[in-house]
Chains A and B, each alone.
Chain A
Amino acid sequence: MDATTEEKTNLLKVSSSPHILTEESIPGIMLAVVVALIPAFLGAVYFFGWKALLLTILAVGSTVGAEYCCQKVKGTPVTVNDFSAVVTGLLLAFNLPSNAPWWMAVVGGVFAIVIVKQIFGGLGYNIWNPALAARAFLLASWPTIMVSSTDFPPPRGGWLAGVKLDGITQATPLQLIKNNIAPLLKDPGAYTAEQVNAARVALEKMTGSESWLALFWGRIGGVLGETSAALLILGAVFLLVKGYIDWRVPLGYLGTVALLAWIFGGPEGYFTGDVFFHLLSGGLILGAFFMATDMVTSPVTRKGKWIFAVGCGLLTMLIRLKGGYPEGVSYAILLMNTATPMIDMYTRPKIYGGK
């Protein structure tokens, strides 16, 4: 062998097959999710104003900052450049009401990253969806703040005007119906005239001809990410088409909710439920497309994904219709996250040539 070959041979890289790899990467996938959330983010800013922007910046800043600090303290490589903390921050912000104090975004962000993610081992090892677990933590710790979003987003074109409903603590249509309107309709005499009036106004807003359209376009109150289904779906379609999220989970989840809502959700007996109302409220769109599809916390097998999705739907409707909370998406998903390792274990596919 001559000298040139000797030199060049020493520079040949040797590694295991396969020797070509897909261009997809974790940062790439995370960035795609961020891009998909941008329409809803812009919608939140439009409907809720500068507070939405501030909360989002604080949430993302604290998740990224917490991850950086945590990994430095642990002595492990810093992986904030995989953008997973950014996604967590965005989703956390979308779970906060617009009048949440600034420190809630920070506390939630730190909790999501340090307790729910890093302590379990970081990306890929967490059992629960960090943003949802943080929301549950905030809800348990500061329930009045989390639930009392007394601002309705202003009508289109009027940016600072808000409609406040005094004296009644309500945030979302579901809460209104469950906590305020249903009892009122059952026993109107127990309430003051203003309360009855306000409830009637609210009910008109929701049961008017554009009630669910309003939910779709985003004119009804809620947390930052729960308002505009249209903008969320726009982002979700992008993720589905590009194959970044598996279609089975949203389909299974929404399908189950739709079916159960139709059968059990109506006030006047079976098969009279308002399917669109249930689909479009309570953060279900955000949950079904962006939370339940989180890869780390959902099953890896196809059959497992269906079971997970249907389970989420079942639990969501159970909590909504029979449970103490008006909204069941967060807890349903968190409970199914808990079941995921077991689901994976029991849904191993039959191998090629297997018995």
Chain B
Amino acid sequence: MLKETTFRGGVHPPDSKSATREKPTRTLKLPSKVVLPLSQHIGAPLEVCVAVGSEVKVGTVIAKPTGFVSIPLHSTISGRVKAIGEALHPTGVRLPAVEIEGDGEDKWEEPATDGKKYSDLTPDELKECIRNAGIVGLGGAAFPTHVKLSPPPGKPIDMFIVNGAECEPYLTSDFRQMLERSKDLIVGIKIVQRILGSEKVLIAVERNKPEAIEVMDRLCREALNYEVVPLKTKYPQGGEKQLIQALTGRQVPSGGLPMDVGCMVHNVSTLLAIYDAVTAGKPLVEKVVTLAGEACANPGNYKVRVGALVEDILKEVEGGIPETLGKIIMGGPMMGIALPSLNVPILKGTNGLVLLAEPVPLSLHRQCIRCGRCVDSCPIRLLPCELAVFAEHQLWDKCREYSVKDCIECGACGYTCPAKRNLVQLIRFGKYTVMSQDRKKEKK
């Protein structure tokens, strides 16, 4: 039975998906060079294990993990290591990275699989496989997946949720993958189900993707414990806390994790990467990225190699840098980062490149009129207008009192503010200051 549910709060930005949702995914040409930052995910830093001049193939491990919460980094093209140093990261900072110059031949390492079917592998073996493939959460947070799949013994997962919500405007990569690789997705789900041992699987898809709902529903008809749940199209429905609330009514405790309420959420693309790793021994070296936006002449979904430079991608897809480009966002327009330069690489967690024309001029920014739209839209029930003022005046204790650490930075408040205040920027300032103060206090 397909019932519709939702969470409290949220906003309705225009979904802007019509330009890309009908187009099949296209694979781009092999890039002539890639830049692979060593920090593409949360966790311990990696140790480079190649030297300048080393020959590498696709899948060669170029940096090794140094802790449990860490995964290997693979070369995403075949060629030679050109440089090991610092390169511009999408966030604007220069960070350690490895640059590889391609030989144009796309030579791959031997697949790391011994032909065993996934159902013959133990959960630990499956997790090892996932770790070795360098898989992180591909919904945006990029957390090492094998760690997420290892909840401590006291936290059983009775509700495994597949996140097909894709609530950010413009982005359709998950949608296209659900249509184009639905059978692979089901196997990916089965693999994770085997690891977690959970009975019930909920596949969440927003209502603006009826074709995906239909495809998944058809495939799940035989499996009694798989349920496809259509969700009201509202931003940020794809946030895991909101998904859990909408689907199960449970709330992840403040400061806690979904496993604390017996849930775990995995993005559709992550599950497909798991499928590729377990069935074909393929590491995470490619991503489907949605290219869209009003300054984009050829919007669509493109399969790109991780590490390819944004500049090179634009040259291939758009034939150069679009004239009207005013702002380019890596990710979606609600939570993505505005790139300071086109000379930055695609990361493992990149889902979209949104090319916008002129952004909102700063002169429209006014003071808070206490209208309460931000309060109504906040999915965590915070008071964004108050938090922003506290952060602006550096009242850190007030920030703590008003739960600034619980902000998920979804941008719903900033989107809906008629005074065009930079609410998220101010709240982020408060949040990270408070977090760093608390970390220092803990160390003492």
Contacts and interface: CB of A to CB of B under 8 A. Distances in A.
Interface of A: 1, 4-5, 8-9, 11-22, 24-26, 28-29, 79, 82, 121-125, 246, 295-302, 305, 344, 348-355
Contacts, number: 180
B367 A22 contact: no
A20 B424 CA distance: 13
B385 A19 contact: no
B392 interface: no
B336 interface: yes
Given A16-B422, A17-B424, A295-B369, A9 B343 contact: yes
A353 B424 CA distance: 20
Interface stretch (B38-46, B297-305, B406-414): B406-414
Given A16-B424, A17-B336, A20-B169, 11 more contacts: A12-B339, A17-B334, A19-B329, A19-B336, A20-B415, A21-B417, A22-B13, A22-B416, A24-B416, A82-B366, A351-B381
Interface of B: 8, 11, 13, 92, 169, 241, 245, 251-256, 311, 320-321, 325-329, 333-343, 354, 356, 358-360, 364, 366-373, 375-376, 379-383, 385-386, 402-403, 406, 409, 411-412, 414-420, 422, 424-425, 428
A18 B377 CA distance: 14
A12 B340 contact: yes
Contacts of B253: 353, 355
Contacts of A300: 370-372, 375, 383, 385-386
Given A1-B311, A350-B381, A352-B241, A21 B420 contact: yes
Contact of B335 (A18, A297, A348): A18
A219 B242 CA distance: 53
A201 B422 CA distance: 61
14 contacts: A9-B342, A11-B326, A12-B341, A13-B327, A18-B335, A18-B414, A19-B333, A19-B338, A20-B13, A25-B364, A124-B366, A300-B375, A344-B386, A352-B251
Pick the 4 closest A-B CB pairs, nearest first.
A18-B411, A16-B425, A353-B254, A295-B371
B370 A295 contact: yes
B342 A79 contact: no
B26 to A, nearest CB: 23
A348 B372 CA distance: 12
Nearest to B255: A353
Contact of B383 (A22, A246, A301): A301
A26 B339 contact: no
A4 B321 CA distance: 8
B418 A29 contact: yes
A20 B97 CA distance: 31
Nearest to A20: B333
Nearest to A18: B411
A297 B372 CA distance: 11
Nearest to A297: B370
Which residue, A121, A125, A297, A354, has most C-beta atoms of chain B within 10 A?
A: A354
B419 A26 contact: yes
Nearest to B371: A295
Contacts of B382: 351
